Amino acid sequence: MAAALDEIGFADAVLAREVDGGLELIDGHLRTETVPDAELPVLVLDVTEAEADKLLATLDPLAAMATTDAAKLGDLISHLTVSSKDLQQVVDQTAAGAGIEVEPAEVAEVDRPDLDTVPDDVPAITKPGEVVTLGRHTLTCGDCLEVLRSLPESSVDAVVTDPPYGIGFKGKDWDCDVPGDAFAVEALRVLKPGGHLIAFAATRTVHRLTVAIEDAGFEIRDQIAWLQWQGFPKSHDVSKAIDQHHGAEREVVGVRTDVETRIYDNREGPKLPPQIDVTTPATPDAEKWSGWGTALKPSYEPAVVARKPLEGTVAENVLAHGTGGINVDGCRIGYGDQAWPGPGEKPEPMTVSPKGMYQGLAGKVGKSFECTPSDLGRWPANIYACPKAGAERGDDNNHPTVKPIKLMRWLVRLVTPPGGTVVEPFCGSGTTLIAAEAEGVTCLAAEMEPAYCDIIRARFKGASNG
């Protein structure tokens, strides 16, 4: 593809849609990633995410309607310049599938460093145990428990963190369990009285994290749901499983594009939905359970909201320590902001009379009164809607669970007083630290993996322009 694009350029435009003042690709990811520095035609469509998915579903099935001209395909293959052994294998498989015999081409290795991604075995720049200063922030490459234990008691304003979910994500060793009692105890110790902790978890493991936090001495205040809608169901087809159990082969009757499953590679970006064979049940048992699966579509991720017990009243605690409250007005959702998935328009003022729906309240004041919505936006709710991290993750950010900066800024602002200090014990690729930089507060971060620390440093340099 790289050679073809260099020779003939872009034959058609890539498709995109406007999202939050920028562009989100709908189709053309491979072309743009193959020649990232090239100027290319872009067709910007005024469509929603759902409409974009439907559009994608019409693109790939067109290829399924095509037929193969073996003679022309053989002639094309015979003139290919193969740039890698992997590509030669693809060519051989294509030729075999079309019944074409071709001579193996001589592999011409093409040097295209601009397409390289960072391999897993490249030594990290950051060393274990190193403490890196990033502006007013501190990043420690090491065990977060050791970092927390090094902090003075009652010295920080907030803990906002995205720890491991304990679901064995992609077989990662660091995701074997949720943070337990030791983490919660140290988080409680370093927080000022009234300081808040917000920690993400999976829907399947949030109860374990919540219990550890509560047992440490925190007050569980709430749970925030991050609505992202982009997870794909990891469901087992019960009907197919039954036919497999019986050793029965199902008949393929067609092909469909699964718009519910968007393949996402952390280095290459989103890809088109996969093509799936449509089969019919082969046994009566499979027919009975046709349409049954084993999982729902994951569309939200919960975050525990907890508070260290106050010293005295809320007023006394806030005056003494600057903690204990949440930043309501600073975190209101503007009318029309998609972070609030409900009605977007600003409500109209409402006059309430003693005979109206608020009869008891109106009766107390003895007269009619007007309810006027705030010009600052809606009261912040315990749900926040925004897509997963896309282009903001950066070209070389291969961390598998990057949170959106918009989301983490909102959470940092919600519980960290102006000029305060927030702790992120599981910094990952650095989104909480980047959010703290944008919000004007200080972040004390810890990350055990040196390679991820390198990503944090690179992201911070880009976010702070040096």
Q: What are the tens digits of pLDDT across the range 448-464?
A: 999 899 989 988 887 77
- Among 377, 402, 436, the domain-final residue is 377
User: Domain count of the chain?
Assistant: 4
d(CA 83, CA 98): 22
Classify strands 442-447 and 421-424 as parallel, antiparallel or unpaired: parallel
Q: 303 falls in which pLDDT band (50, 70, 90)?
A: very high
Q: Is the pLDDT of residue 194 over 70?
A: yes
Q: What is the pLDDT of residues 48-91, one digit of tens each?
A: 887 777 776 666 554 445 566 766 766 666 666 554 454 566 56
Q: CB under 8 Å, gap of 24 or more: what pairs does 205-214 form?
A: 205/165, 205/166, 205/167, 205/178, 206/302, 206/304, 208/166, 208/178, 209/163, 209/178, 209/179, 209/304, 210/304, 212/178, 212/179, 212/180, 212/181, 212/183, 212/184, 213/184, 213/187, 213/304, 213/306, 214/306
Query: Which residues are within 8 A (CB) of 34 and not within 5 positions of it... i.e. 6 or more apart?
Result: 1, 2, 5, 115
Identify the CA nearest to 425 among candidates 153, 222, 188, 142.
142
Tell me, yes or no, whether 261 and 146 share the same domain.
no
Query: What amino acid is encoded at 417 in this protein?
Result: P
In a domain, 330, yes or no: yes
Q: Is the pLDDT of residue 195 over 60?
A: yes
Q: What is the pLDDT of residues 80-95, one digit of tens each?
A: 655 445 456 656 666 6
Backbone angles phi, psi at 52, to 5 degrees: -65, -40
Q: 355 falls in which pLDDT band (50, 70, 90)?
A: low
Which CA distances in Å does 215 have to 180, 181, 182, 218, 308?
10, 8, 11, 7, 12
Q: Structure tokens of 357?
A: 């729906």
- Cα angle value 417/185/314 (rounded, 5°): 40
In a domain, 121, yes or no: no
In a domain, 204, yes or no: yes
Edge-to-edge strand list for the sheet holding 22-27: 22-27, 14-19, 42-45
d(CA 121, CA 113): 17
Report the share of the chain in percent with pLDDT over 90.
46
Tell me, yes or no, whether 253 and 350 share the same domain.
no
Distance, CA of 184 to chain centre: 25
The pLDDT of residue 133 = 95
Q: Structure tokens of 335?
A: 């009318």
- Among 361, 377, 393, the domain-final residue is 377
d(CA 57, CA 42): 20
Tell me, yes or no, whether 269 and 319 share the same domain.
no
Tell me, yes or no, whether 304 and 403 share the same domain.
yes
d(CA 11, CA 266): 27
List the CATH number of the domain containing 321: 3.40.50.150
Higher pLDDT pick, 178 / 442: 442
Higher pLDDT pick, 17 / 162: 162
Q: What is the pLDDT of residues 264-287, one digit of tens each?
A: 444 444 555 567 889 999 999 999
Q: 385 falls in which pLDDT band (50, 70, 90)?
A: very high
Helix (H, G, I), strand (E, B) or coil at 383: strand
Identify the CA nearest to 158 among candidates 463, 449, 432.
432
Average pLDDT value for residue range 144-151: 96
Instruction: With residue 299 as reference, give the H or E element that holds it.
Output: none
Q: 16 falls in which pLDDT band (50, 70, 90)?
A: confident
83 and 107 Cβ atoms separated by less than 8 Å = yes
Higher pLDDT pick, 121 / 46: 46
Tell me, yes or no, whether 358 and 282 share the same domain.
no
Tell me, yes or no, whether 171 and 279 share the same domain.
no
Tell me, yes or no, whether 424 and 307 share the same domain.
yes
> Looking at the chain, how many residues does it have?
466
Identify the CA nearest to 86 among candidates 94, 76, 97, 98.
94
Instruction: With residue 361 as reference, give the H or E element that holds it.
Output: helix 359-365
The pLDDT of residue 41 = 78
Q: Is the pLDDT of residue 197 over 70?
A: yes
Query: Which residues are within 8 A (CB) of 431 and not within 5 positions of it... i.e. 6 or more apart?
Result: 162, 389, 402, 403, 404, 405, 408
Which CA distances in Å does 111 have to 2, 61, 85, 107, 225?
11, 34, 14, 13, 46
In a domain, 274, yes or no: yes
In a domain, 294, yes or no: no
In a domain, 126, yes or no: no
Helix (H, G, I), strand (E, B) or coil at 138: strand
Tell me, yes or no, whether 280 and 310 share the same domain.
no
* Mean pLDDT of the chain, nearest integer: 80
DSSP string, 223-268: EEEEE----------HHHHHHHHHTPPPEEEEEEE-TT---EETTT
Which of 36-66 are b and which e, b meaning 16 or more Cβ less than 10 Å from the residue's Cβ? Answer: eeeeeeeeeeebeeeebbebbeeebeeeeee
The pLDDT of residue 56 = 67
Q: 110 falls in which pLDDT band (50, 70, 90)?
A: very low
Tell me, yes or no, whether 23 and 104 share the same domain.
yes
Helix (H, G, I), strand (E, B) or coil at 181: helix
Tell me, yes or no, whether 412 and 451 share the same domain.
yes
Q: 115 falls in which pLDDT band (50, 70, 90)?
A: very low
Tell me, yes or no, whether 175 and 272 share the same domain.
no
In a domain, 293, yes or no: no
The pLDDT of residue 116 = 32
Instruction: Please tell me the pTM assigned to this model.
Output: 0.67
Report the share of the chain in percent with pLDDT over 70.
68
Average pLDDT value for residue range 121-129: 80
Backbone angles phi, psi at 61, to 5 degrees: -60, -20
Tell me, yes or no, whether 383 and 278 share the same domain.
no
Q: What is the DSSP letter of 419?
A: T
Q: What is the pLDDT of residues 307-351, one digit of tens each?
A: 999 999 999 999 999 999 999 999 999 999 999 998 888 888 887
In a domain, 125, yes or no: no
Range of the domain at 29: 2-115
- Among 83, 115, 147, the domain-final residue is 115
The pLDDT of residue 249 = 95
